[in-house]
Structure formats: C-alpha cells, structure tokens
Structure 1
C-alpha cells in the first residue's frame, strides 16, 4: 500500500450528514481527495487542485498534517 492509498481519521471532525464526531476518514483515490463517514456512509470528493486552493479563514486550524 502506498501513501496515496492510506486512510486516516480526522480528529474532531463532525459528519455533515449524521453529526457523529470522529467518524470521518480521509483518503486519496484516482487523484481525488475523498472524505467518508464510517457511521452513515456519507461521502464527499474534491480534486487535488481544489483542495490546495481551498481557504480556511473561518476555521481554528493549528496546523495541517501532510505525511510524505
């Protein structure tokens, strides 16, 4: 398994569909960043370029973890 196929959970993230906390996992598939809730199967997809350009003005972000 390569780093691009690694799935990781987002600590403190809340599912926009079922509102469950700590159930969102993030992974890459076909050069797309995907979010999935393991509780209700909610899914969201973004292309790499959109992810890099997204602004996070209204979030309380301490840092962004980018594993190499």
Structure 2
C-alpha cells in the first residue's frame, strides 16, 4: 500500500533558497500545510494561527544566557 500525497504547484512562486521559478509544491501532512521546492528540497511548514497563539501565550522566559 503506497501513501500518495496530493501536491499542487504554485504558479509564479519563486523558491527563497535556490530562486528557481515554478518549483514550489504545496501539500498537507498531518493537517499541516507544507511547501517544498522540487529543485533544491527547501521545505517550509505553516501552522494555524490558533496553534501559534497558544504556543506564544504559554511560553515564559527563565533567563538569558550571555557567554563572556
């Protein structure tokens, strides 16, 4: 049994890494939107705004490490 992901290419999109045109594909993996350049392998994930806000609200800074 093969697990095929449905991918859509984004017309006119340029890869931020290799600057290739029309090589960015969009797909979903575990309900997370992901982008991938088929030329160089660059990947980027997009999380939902509700997940981002929950993560930021729960964070707290304990201290800042400053090596001397």
Q: TM-score, normalised by structure 1?
A: 0.63
| Greater relative contact order structure (CA < 8 Å, 6+ sep) | 1
Instruction: Count residues in correspondence.
Output: 45
Kindly report structure 1 stretches of 4+ aligned residues shifted beyond 6 Å: none
Which has the higher Rg, Structure 1 or Structure 2?
Answer: 2
Q: TM-score, normalised by structure 2?
A: 0.63
CA RMSD of aligned residues (A): 0.9
| Structure 2 residues without counterparts, runs of 5 or longer | 50-68
| Structure 1 residues without counterparts, runs of 5 or longer | 51-68
